[in-house]
Chains A and B, each alone.
Chain A
Amino acid sequence: MDRFDLSGRTGGARFGSLTDAPASFVLTGVRMVDPAADTDVVGDLAVIGGVIRSDAAPDVPRIRGEGLVAAPGFCDLHAHLRTPGGEGAETIESGTRAAAHGGFTTVCAMPNTDPALDEPLRVEGLLARATDASARVRVIAAATRGREGADLTDHRALVAAGAVAVSDDGAAISSAAVTRRTLLYLAPLGVALVEHAEDTGLAGGSVMRSGPIATRLGLGAWPASAEATIVERDLALAAETGGWVHFTHLSTAAALDPIRRAKAAGTRVTCDVTPHHLALTDRWVAGDRHFAWEAGADGWSELDLTLAYDSTCRVNPPLPSTADARELMAALADGTIDAIATDHAPHPQERKAVPFAESTPGMIGLETALGIGLAAVAAGQLELSTLVGALSARPAGLIGESRSLAVDETADLVIFDPAGTWMVSRETLASGSTNTPLLARELPGLVRLTVASGRITYDAGLIGPA
């Protein structure tokens, strides 16, 4: 596993791969948070030959784990690995290293690549190239050919090739009829249509959430209804067809009540939210740098516009109002929102070093998700077990994976130091891109070890050379 040696990284960190030898170690006195089993206990964690065991032979290295947290490996339902076609921003190698650095053991690659992942061969090709990556790569294939929203892709063949869901992410399927056809055809397949809920007519060429901040900054603003109308439309279609719709990167409070009602009525609907829509707000576009739950995330005159119009704050859907971010957090805490997904969207520098409205939307997120979540936990916004569940077992369950720290399970886990902090910087990020407004910010939660499918994929000096 010494294949990737990034000297100078946090504590001499190393990346490993899924083809490395299975790991063996015992971590003593570690806090094990396992939402699937509803347990949160301190004890020894033994991994022998890549499998969790109840005890270990004396020759297995014993490492002190006091103060550390062990959690099931994180699963990202929404990441852009930019392969094929955008390798200047991210590759399978850099993207899965970013995943491992963030505690993720699975990343779902979105299909808005060039060309789009709309053919079984392309899905198989990407999966074949990822077998020795630093995280399991799963593919969410395009829902329609060329993501053009007209003709369905061969959903059955794509699923047979390994796709775990379909999506035209980057946009919603604009036609209700095509959306209905998709949900109907998918219904027996047990995979979801992952919907980017945005009515392009309402959103237009807008770049920000509508509200006082957008008005003050003179930036074109898309109303919350641009998300809610697609959500309501798709809920009606899912109820009617029995198909499974999964709304990704929800960003408005207005979308939550319809989803609550549909879930109560038994409609097959799930959803995720990004860390940045939980924590960052439209005020960040005006230069504010308070998390949504912090005092100071409200008010008018406090804004210092020196940092305003930073293009790294342009994401799609746009950053929410402070009130909406708080509603999203509440919906995550009450279970309405099933999972945290990063919408990790790497872009080369030149796409961001332009005026805000001319920049390409998206920010990287694989490496900062845990830190944002732990900041929310520290602020009393979220239980640690809720955070861990929303990052691991719950999203994993949506793509047919399981996550557990139980004995005899394959080790698939992350060990982090909740009291440790790290500075987000060009030097500390493993991603091929650095487009995040969290650059130069200190985040809580130092990932010390990531184990995917029994192999160490990231080790920040915890285990050391094998």
Chain B
Amino acid sequence: MTLAGASTAARRHLLDVDGWSRTELEDMLDLAVEMRTRRAAGDLPDPLRGVTVGLAFFENSTRTRVSFELAARELGATVTDLSVAGSSVAKGESLIDTVRTLERTGIRVIVLRHAASGAPYLAARALEYAAIVNAGDGTHAHPTQALLDALTLRDTLGSLDGARIVIVGDAVHSRVAHSNLHALTTLGASVVLTGPPAWVRAFDGWPGVTVEPELEAALHGADAVMALRVQLERAAGSGVPSLAEFIAGWGLTAERLDGACPTAWLMHPGPANEGVEISAELSTAERSLIGRQVENGVPIRMAVLSRVVELGH
């Protein structure tokens, strides 16, 4: 199986779900389900025994970093967390030099988060045998988030075939939205994007994607609604005149969901700005899948890490 599109050169890495086939996606979700079951039964395999995994987070993260760390450790890996503030990265060493150095110390898998779109591709091309796992790059991709979202939806809906999934907010600058578009449409869902034009219109014409500017119309008939985190510091002035305009137009509330799509599930990649993209009562509502998304984080990363190590042999 190919982990990063068509080319054999990139196979051992996990850079994105862009280009994956439906079978490749389903296989990864199946593997995650197996990991989840065996973990619950205290019967995990140790495919990462003898493998050192380096966590290279050039951007802050809690849930992604912790779930990768747990996944790696529980599958038998030795984990090195490279605190970026104290590393040579902060001293101006280039990304390429850093990952090459990590490779030479014997690290087999580098879990990379970076603020620049495409940084994992650059890193992957610089390595001889170590594998890159993309834990989020700039405004490009967050493949493991998309996989855990797809798993959560498949668990809940049974299948994504024909499902209507609505994504609300700044899709153009959201790596979560990008990777979800690829994964969800490949798995058979139709995706509707809604938000201010500057945040959604660039996706006009994407295969399997509909852009609907008005929230009410977008929500109608939805099976699930995914709110994206609003970047508070840059929201006003970029896509919307003010946060108040966004909340009035696209903020999700129980009332709005009950009116347009009473049976729809609610998702959020976290951390949520309660009272902005979703109201406080929604995040804990019965329809909320947010907790299950987090729970699926570790099994998905177990599946990804074990597959990367398997392909690296």
Interface positions of A (Cβ within 8 A of B): 210, 212, 214-221, 300, 303-306, 308-309, 311, 350, 353-358
Given contacts A218-B175, A304-B5, contact A350 B94 (CB under 8 A): yes
- If A305-B18, A306-B7, A354-B94 touch, whether A300 touches B118 (CB-CB below 8 Å) is no
Ranked 3 nearest A-B pairs via Cβ: A309-B118, A218-B140, A355-B116
Asked whether, in the complex, the Cβ of B6 is within 8 Å of the Cβ of A304, the reply is yes
Alpha-carbon distance between A220 and B234 when the two chains are bound, in angstroms: 14
B178 interfacial contact with A, CB 8 Å: yes
A358 touches B116 (CB 8 A): yes
Could you give 16 example pairs across A and B, Cβ below 8 Å?
A: A214-B202, A218-B117, A218-B139, A218-B140, A219-B118, A303-B5, A305-B4, A305-B10, A305-B16, A305-B18, A306-B7, A306-B121, A309-B117, A353-B96, A354-B96, A355-B118
From known contacts A350-B94, A357-B138, infer whether A308 and B121 are also in contact, taking CB-CB under 8 Å.
Answer: yes
B122 interfacial by beta-carbon distance below 8 Å: yes
Is residue B141 contacting chain A, with contact meaning CB distance below 8 A? Answer: yes
Q: Which chain A residue shows the least CB distance to B172? A: A215
B307 part of interface (Cβ distance < 8 Å): no
Q: Mark B15-32, 1 if CB is under 8 A from A, else 0.
A: 110110000000000000
Complex: how many Å from CA A309 to CA B16?
A: 13
Q: Count residues of chain B with CB under 8 A from any CB of chain A.
A: 34
Give 1 or 0 for each of B88-123: 1 = CB within 8 Å of chain A CB: 000000111000000000000000001011110110
Q: Contacts A215-B202, A305-B15 known; A355 to B114 CB distance under 8 Å? A: yes
Residue B203 lies at the interface, judged by CB distance under 8 Å to chain A: yes
Residues of B within 8 A of A221 (CB): 202
- Which residues of B155-209 are within 8 A (CB) of A? 172-173, 175, 178, 202-203, 205-207
B137 within 8 A of A: yes
Residue ID in chain A nearest B138 by CB atoms: A218
Q: Is B311 an interface residue (CB 8 A)?
A: no
**Which residues on the A side are within 8 Å of B96 (C-beta)?**
353-354
Contact A217 B117 (CB under 8 A): yes
Inter-subunit contact A357/B117 (CB<8 Å): yes
Question: Are B4 and A356 in touch, CB under 8 angstroms?
Answer: no
Cβ of B9 within 8 Å of any chain A Cβ, yes or no, is yes
A179 to B258, CA, bound (A): 57
Cβ–Cβ < 8 Å partners of B207 in chain A: 300
Query: Which B residue sits closest to A218, measured CB to CB?
Result: B140
State which of B95, B118, B173, B205 has its C-beta within 8 Å of the C-beta of A217. Answer: B118
> CB-nearest residue of chain B relative to A285?
B118
Q: How far is the CA of A219 from the CA of B10 in the complex (A)?
A: 21
Residue of B nearest to A300 (CB): B207
Q: Which residues of A contact B203 (CB under 8 A)?
A: 215
Please name the residue on chain B nearest to A311 by beta carbon.
B122
Q: Which residues of B contact A220 (CB under 8 A)?
A: 139
Q: Does B10 contact A306, Cβ atoms closer than 8 Å? A: yes
Chain B residues, Cβ within 8 Å of A358: 116
With beta carbons under 8 angstroms apart, the residue of A212, A350, A356, A357 that contacts B206 is A212
Kindly state the separation between the CA atoms of A439 and B284 in the bound complex, as whole angstroms. Answer: 55
Question: In the complex, what residues of B have CB within 8 A of residue A353's CB?
Answer: 94, 96, 122
Complex CA–CA separation, A322 to B295 (angstroms): 44
A224 to chain B, nearest CB (A): 14
Q: Are A356 and B16 within 8 A (Cβ)?
A: no
Q: By the criterion CB–CB under 8 Å, are A212 and B205 in contact? A: yes
User: Of all chain A residues, which has the CB nearest B182?
Assistant: A216
CB distance from A217 to the nearest CB of B (A): 6
A357–B15 Cα distance when bound, in Å, is 18
Is the beta-carbon distance between B138 and A306 smaller than 8 angstroms? no
Distance of A406 from chain B, by nearest CB (Å): 51
Instruction: Give residues of chain B (134-157) contacting chain A, Cβ–Cβ below 8 Å.
Output: 137-141
**Complex: A167 Cα to B96 Cα, angstroms:** 36
Of listed B16, B118, B121, B175, residue having the most chain A CB within 10 A = B118
CB distance from A204 to the nearest CB of B (A): 10
- Tell me which residues across on chain B come within 8 A of A217, comparing CB atoms: 117-118, 140
Chain A nearest CB from B169 CB (Å) reads 15
For B140, list chain A residues within 8 Å (CB): 217-219
As a 0/1 sequence over residues 51 to 79 of chain B, the CB contacts with chain A under 8 angstroms (1 = contact) are: 00000000000000000000000000000
Q: What's the minimum C-beta distance from B115 to chain A, rounded to whole angstroms?
A: 9
What's the minimum C-beta distance from A444 to chain B, rounded to whole angstroms? 27
Contact in complex: A306, B4 (CB < 8 Å)? yes
| Contact B121–A309 (Cβ < 8 Å) | yes
Other than A221-B202, A357-B116, give 10 A-B pairs with Cβ distance below 8 A.
A215-B206, A216-B18, A219-B140, A305-B121, A306-B6, A306-B121, A354-B95, A354-B122, A355-B122, A357-B118
Point out the residue from B114, B118, B139, B175 that lies within 8 Å of A308, measured CB to CB: B118
Q: Which residue, of A306, A353, A358, has the highest number of chain B Cβ atoms within 10 A?
A: A306
By a CB distance below 8 angstroms, the chain A residues around B9 are 306
The docked-state distance in angstroms from the alpha carbon of A305 to that of B116 is 16
Q: Select from chain A the residue with minimum beta-carbon distance to B96.
A: A353
A356: chain B residues within 8 A (beta carbon) = 116-118, 122
Bound-state CA distance A212–B205 (Å) is: 9
* List of A residues within 8 angstroms of B117 by Cβ: 217-219, 309, 355-357
